[in-house]
Amino acid sequence: MGAGVQQSEAGGGRRRRRGRRRARPMSEINVTPFVDIMLVLLIIFMVAAPLLTVGVPVELPKTAANALPTDSEEPLTVTITADGEVQIQTTPTPRDDLVNKLRAIAAERDTDRVFLRADGAIPYESVMQVMGALNAGGFSNVGLVTDVGGPTLDSGRQ
């Protein structure tokens, strides 16, 4: 695998009378196993990376808006599911306790940015109630998360 033995020839191709040929170690490194291992690791990471994004399954409404720029800190995400349940990141939270938990989280974070994901089937009133709780909890920079490719209200664009 790594080092091999090379036979040295003495006398320009003639055989020596007195003994065997002298063996000397080969001083080349075989990099093929290292390349194979790196390719396997690359494939493993390429397959595993999409599986690392975990979220709550929500049918987001579609819109023509562009994505917001991201910060270095992991964004706080509040989700309202189709059945009206509110979740902070992936933790279900009762609506009565939402403001207190948001205040505790806001005290530990550097930014007041929060992303609100809401199922398209829930009433507008429910979304506004959660946005009011976000504001009361100390988060005034609220971004509404949608899917791209939705209808536009501009008749000139598609």
| Per-position DSSP letters for the chain, written without gaps between them | ----EEE--SSTTPPPSSSPPPEEE------HHHHHHHHHHHHHHHHHGGGG-------PPEE-PPPPPP-SSPPEEEEE-TTS-EEETTEEE-GGGHHHHHHHHHHH-S--EEEEEE-TTS-HHHHHHHHHHHHHTT--EEEEE-EES---S-TT--
Number of Cβ within a 10 Å radius of residue 134: 22
Name which residue leads in pLDDT, 10 or 98: 98
> For residue range 23-64, what is the model confidence (pLDDT) as tens digits?
777 778 888 889 999 999 999 989 888 777 666 677 777 777
Q: What is the pLDDT of residue 6?
A: 58
Amino acid identity at 97: D
Q: What is the pLDDT of residue 41?
A: 94
Q: What is the pLDDT of residue 12?
A: 54
Lowest mean pLDDT among 7-16, 88-97, 133-142: 7-16
Segments of the chain assigned to CATH 3.30.420.270: 62-148
What's 62-148's CATH class? alpha beta
Name which residue leads in pLDDT, 134 or 8: 134
Task: Give 155's pLDDT tier (boundaries 50, 70, 90).
Answer: low
Mean per-residue pLDDT for 74-98? Answer: 88
Tell me the CA distances in angstroms from 104 to 83, 108, 136, 156, one per residue in order: 26, 7, 12, 46
